[in-house]
Amino acid sequence: MRLAFTEDQQLFRETVRDFLAASCTTEHLRAAWAADTAVSSRWAELAKIGVTGLVVPEEQDGLGLTDEELSAVLEQAGYAALPEPLLESAVAAGLLAEFAPDAGWLEKISAGEATASVLLPGQPFAIEAATADVLVVGLVNASGEAEVHVANPADYDLVAQRSVDRSRKLFRVGFAPEPESLVASGSAAAAALARAADRGALGASALLLGLAKRMLDMGVEYAKQRVQRGVLIGTHQSVQHHLANVLIKIEFARPVVMRAAYSLARDLPSAARDVSMAKIYAAEAADLAARNSLQVHGAIGYTEEHDLQLFMKRAWALGAAWGDSGHHRARVAADLLSEAPAPLTPGF
């Protein structure tokens, strides 16, 4: 019984953290906001430390790691609000590895020479679809059957949208399925798409956890330095309690997210329920972190010049992405209220 990352996982995590601290500053984020794409030379750098190919099988030059390592890394990506579509590429990579391992995309993703994006059933927009080298599309066809397609830019047209988080480059995708693009259908496709959605929700949870921690740290820093009427605002009980309440949410969300990663990495029966629970807790932590950190910052936090908004806006967007809390609550309830709920992880 160990509910903690292994030393290797910790090491990997710290490597990514240090890299992002240097190469993904808020100046970089503002640049990504202004650009047409959030993908920069950083993508190739991330490849060098194995991040882009983290879940790509070793046969395709990836690290062949699991959702455990992925979520550990994504928490750091969230802390830095990394603008590149790391999660989307990882979700796409999972589907490519299953249905199109030899198409050559995985090697390119591992090498940082390509980015992938993904559009799952029910997902309104695809991120970075205009710059992604490959777009993996999941859909339910007219006869109600699941299909997975590997689409090339030629196969679809895009309508650019504008997210409140300008580093999320969203596109509505008009995709006409072709027999050539079809790589899987039926129950295999359905299972893979469900698995992909869970990876997306788990990844979003890890990102939200990192975002929450970042916004808390910003609030704490500010409260330690900001003097108002001659006193540090951090000495006000209301400020202390705002921040303490955020820490409580984060500290309880963390083991929930870690457990979900463990379950999903092993495809345990409780995986779907555990992932939904993770998304609910992480989104709530990030939501409270945004509100309370903003309240602690006061008017300065409400300005565009202040960096807090970069993280708040990403948190709001991710809270609704990959299934909002209502969606995931319904999933947890459906399992718990069923005749035979999935056994607990860890067992009991």
Partner 1 sequence: MDLEFSPKEQEFRQEVRSWLEANVPATPLPSMDTEEGFRLHQEWEKKLFDARWAVVSWPQEYGGREAGLTEWLIFEEEYYRAGAPGRVSQNGIFLFAPTVFEFGSKEQQDRYLPKMASGEEIWVQGWSEPEAGSDLANVRSRADRDEERGGWVLNGQKIWSSRGTYGHRLFGLFRTDPESRRHHGLTYFMVDLASPGVTVRPIPQLDGEPGFAEVFLDDVFVPDADVLGGAGEGWKIMIATTGSERGLNLRSPGRFLAPANRLLDLYKERGGGDQVLRDAAVQAWMDAEAYRLFTFGTVTKLLDGGQIGADSSINKVFWSQMDVELHATALRLLGGYGELDEGSPDAVDGSRWLDGFLFALGGPIYAGTNEIQRNTIAERILGLPRAK
- Cα separation, 33 vs 54, whole angstroms: 26
Is residue 313 within 8 A of residue 302, CB to CB? The reply is: no
Decide: helix, strand or coil at residue 162.
coil
Task: Kindly state the smallest distance separating residue 227's Cβ from partner 1, in Å.
Answer: 7
Phi/psi at 146 (5° precision):
-75, 145
Residues 195-234 that bind partner 1 (CB under 8 A): 220, 223-224, 227-229, 231-232, 234
Considering only residues 5, 45, 111, 153, which one is a binding residue for partner 1 as defined by CB under 8 A?
5
Pairwise CA distance, residues 173 & 130, whole Å: 10
The reply to whether 162 sits near partner 1 by the rule CB under 8 A is yes
Tokens of 190: 């359905």
Q: How far is the CB of 303 from partner 1 (least distance, A)?
A: 5
* Residue 259 binds to partner 1 (criterion: CB under 8 A): yes
Contact between 161 and a copy of itself by CB under 8 A: the answer reads no
Q: Is 291 in the site for a copy of itself (CB under 8 A)?
A: no
Residues near 202 by Cβ (< 8 Å), separated by ≥ 6? 67, 70, 71, 257, 260, 261, 264, 275, 278, 279
Contacts to partner 1 from residues 6-45, by CB under 8 A: 6
Q: Which one among 258, 275, 283, 288 touches partner 1, defined by CB under 8 A?
A: 258
Q: Closer to partner 1 by CB, 123 or 185: give it.
A: 123
Report the residue from 144, 237, 338, 340 that binds a copy of itself according to the rule CB under 8 A: 237
Residue 241 binds a copy of itself (CB under 8 A) = yes
Tell which one of 15, 172, 182, 191 touches partner 1 (CB under 8 A): 172
By a kind-dependent CB cut-off of 5 to 8 A, residue 11 interacts, out of a copy of itself, partner 1, none, with none
Nearest distance, CB of residue 293 and partner 1, angstroms = 12
Question: Quick one: tokens of 217?
Answer: 């740290």
Q: Which two tokens stand for residue 283?
A: 């989104």
User: Please, are residues 32 and 82 in contact by the beta-carbon 8 Å criterion?
Assistant: no
Q: Choose the binding region for partner 1 from 35-43, 86-94, 149-157, 308-316 (rule: CB under 8 A).
A: 308-316
Q: Which is nearer to a copy of itself, 224 or 241 (CB)?
A: 241
Interface pick for a copy of itself out of 13, 172, 226, 236 (rule CB under 8 A):
236
Instruction: Rank residues 236 and 266 by Cβ distance to a copy of itself and give the closer one.
Output: 236
Q: Which is nearer to partner 1, 12 or 281 (CB)?
A: 281
The interface partner of residue 259, options being a copy of itself, partner 1, none and the CB cut-off 5 to 8 Å by kind, is partner 1
Report d(CA 240, CA 159) in Å as an integer.
45
Q: Which residues contact 143 (CB under 8 A, 6 or more apart)?
A: none
Contact 64, 53 (CB under 8 A): no
At closest approach, how far in Å is the CB of 136 from partner 1? 18
Given the rule CB under 8 A, which of 119-127, 156-164, 234-242, 332-340 is the region that contacts a copy of itself? 234-242
- The site that binds a copy of itself (CB under 8 A) totals a number of residues, namely 4
Enter the tokens of residue 63.
């690290």
**Distance from C-alpha of 116 to C-alpha of 52, rounded to nearest angstrom:** 10
Compare residues 11 and 22 and give the one whose CB is closer to partner 1.
Answer: 11
Which range binds a copy of itself by CB under 8 A, 147-155, 230-238, 271-279, 308-316? Answer: 230-238
- Interior/surface letters 12-34, b for 16+ CB within 10 angstroms, e for the rest: bbeebbebbeeebeeebbeebee
At residue 147's C-alpha, the angle toward residues 146 and 150, to 5°, is: 155
Residue with token string 């790589």: 183
> What phi and psi values does residue 203 have, to the nearest 5 degrees?
-60, -40
Residue ranges binding a copy of itself (CB under 8 A): 236-238, 241
